Amino acid sequence: MIYLIVAVASYLIGSISFAVVVSSAMGLADPRSYGSGNPGATNVLRTGNKLAAILTLVGDAFKGWLPVWLVGHFGARFGLDATGLATVIALSAIAVFLGHLYPIFFRFQGGKGVATAAGVLLAIHPALGLATLLTWLIIAFFFRYSSLAALVAAVFAPFFQVFLFGPSRISLAVLAMSALLVWRHRANISKLLAGKESRIGDKKKPAAVE
């Protein structure tokens, strides 16, 4: 029963799309209607409203962090052994991430999961999250492509997890999230190869069909 409760609760938390909620609250256009059409912080930044982008980023990261952190810190109180705890952490991580990608509250039209994945990784262990975030920042700083930074960070995240903590069920969850994140960026990969990808800070345009 605990596994079902964790999975459902984590998914519902992940289904809160802060890009849409923040944009609506601040009187901005729906982020699904311009730029990349992705309800995420990078696309919200294309409105020129940095506060809205920051709130979206923090909100999406926090919702990824919260359920995984709660499970990790309180799961043992429900009689879970080390293996059971690792399993429920992995389950929560995948569920909240899927909630962001396919939110039930927004017709399953979600984001690409970068900020939410960062929150999940920070909850699993700060060192894992920080190593992955540093990778993102380095690539973003030098190339100014959010998508490229996300792809590189996603590729490295499973290796960071195994290197820091060894293989486990949590490692499989990190690998699954990374694979999903790369898959969600398949249109961006095509644009990067064609030299048509938008850079960080570009102003909004009507949403492209992807």
Q: What is the pTM of this model?
A: 0.91
Any domain includes 47: yes
Any domain includes 202: no
Any domain includes 201: no
Any domain includes 209: no
Any domain includes 71: yes
Number of domains in the chain: 1
For 85-131, what is each residue's pLDDT tens digit? Answer: 999 999 999 999 999 999 999 999 999 999 999 999 999 999 999 99
For 125-149, what is each residue's pLDDT tens digit? Answer: 999 999 999 999 999 999 999 899 9
Domain with 61 in it = 2-194
By percentage, how much of the chain surpasses pLDDT 90? 78
Report pLDDT for 119.
98
Question: What DSSP string runs through the chain?
Answer: -HHHHHHHHHHHHHT--HHHHHHHHTTPPPGGGBTT---SHHHHHTTT-HHHHHHHHHHHHHHHHHHHHHHHHHGGGGT--HHHHHHHHHHHHHHHHHHHHS-GGGTT-----HHHHHHHHHHH-HHHHHHHHHHHHHHHHHH--HHHHHHHHHHHHHHHHHHHH-S-HHHHHHHHHHHHHHHHTHHHHHHHHHT-PPPTTPPP-BPPP-
Res 42 pLDDT > 90:
no
Any domain includes 205: no
User: Higher confidence at residue 200 or residue 99?
Assistant: 99
Any domain includes 208: no
Any domain includes 156: yes
